[in-house]
Amino acid sequence: MAARAERVDFAALRRLSTMLIISPHADDETLGCGGLIATACDLGLRPRVAYLTDGAGSHSGSIAWPPTRLAAQRRQEALNALAVLGVPATDTLFLDWPDGRPYTADQTAYDRTLRDLMAWARSLNPSSIWAPLAEEPHCDHQAAWDLANVVRDGLRAPCALMEYIVWGWKDADLAARHEADRVFALDCVGYIDRRRQALAQHTTQLGALIGDASSAFALPPELAALTDRPIEIYLERGR
């Protein structure tokens, strides 16, 4: 995919700005497109980030960390990671869906979320919306992609839909099976340390904070290693 990809340069980033990035969970922003976020921030392009879920389900069996405490911790970790990448808290939106239980279009909570996200998007007038790969094997990732499509279709001006990859890298046949119209690559060699620092802010996900054996969770090493990639790959699909 990298060999066939179009290179993302400053001109392309400007065309894609303002960027609205939808992250299913706190940490997906760094794993999937941390280099993109940091690059755009350094260039003064001011990307915005919306988090879909509250993260309270990542350690659901913890006695010391009930859902409300864990959700507050995950939110702070997200803000800390974005600060490392260059995004201020004022450019962040938390939608607070329940972790692992995405709303459906027939629910009032879904309508409320869509109204809030749509209002934010229209105020930004984004040139691109970024969401996880459509085929990612996680219900929250798929919900984020679905919402990105609905929001894009509700905007008045043309808007590109871009996909970043997190869990999709576990698919050995991804390069052959994806249905994207275009594949892009961004040089992130200069942002490896910064992405590592951003991921380190997600202490709950790295097994460094939650100590209950019954709720043990840590990000798999192969996913944490996504911050070490010299490039990031993105896909674009037509309407």
Q: What is the pLDDT at residue 176?
A: 80
- For the chain, what are the domain ranges? 6-236
Q: How far is CA 176 from CA 1, 4, 172, 231, in A?
A: 9, 12, 9, 19
Element of type H or E holding 18: none
Specify whether the backbone of 93 is left (phi greater than 0), alpha (psi in -120 to 50) or beta.
Answer: beta
Q: What is the pLDDT at residue 181?
A: 83
Per-residue pLDDT band for 31 (boundaries 50, 70, 90) equals very high
In the predicted structure, residue 24 carries a pLDDT above the cut 80: yes
DSSP track, 6-17? EEP-HHHHHHTP
Q: What is the mean pLDDT of the chain?
A: 90
Q: What CATH architecture does domain 6-236 belong to?
A: 3-Layer(aba) Sandwich (3.40)
- Residue for token pair 């929250």: 140
Dist. CA 149–CA 236, nearest whole Å: 12
Q: What is the pLDDT at residue 36?
A: 98
pTM for the full predicted model: 0.93
Q: What is the pLDDT at residue 178?
A: 80
- Is residue 133 within 8 A of residue 145, CB to CB? The reply is yes
Q: How far is CA 153 from CA 62, 148, 182, in A?
A: 40, 9, 19
Q: What is the pLDDT at residue 180?
A: 80
Q: What is the pLDDT at residue 61?
A: 61
In the predicted structure, residue 165 carries a pLDDT above the cut 60: yes
Q: What is the pLDDT at residue 211?
A: 61
Q: Which residues pair with 19 in a beta bridge?
A: 128
In the predicted structure, residue 57 carries a pLDDT above the cut 80: no
Q: What is the pLDDT at residue 80?
A: 98
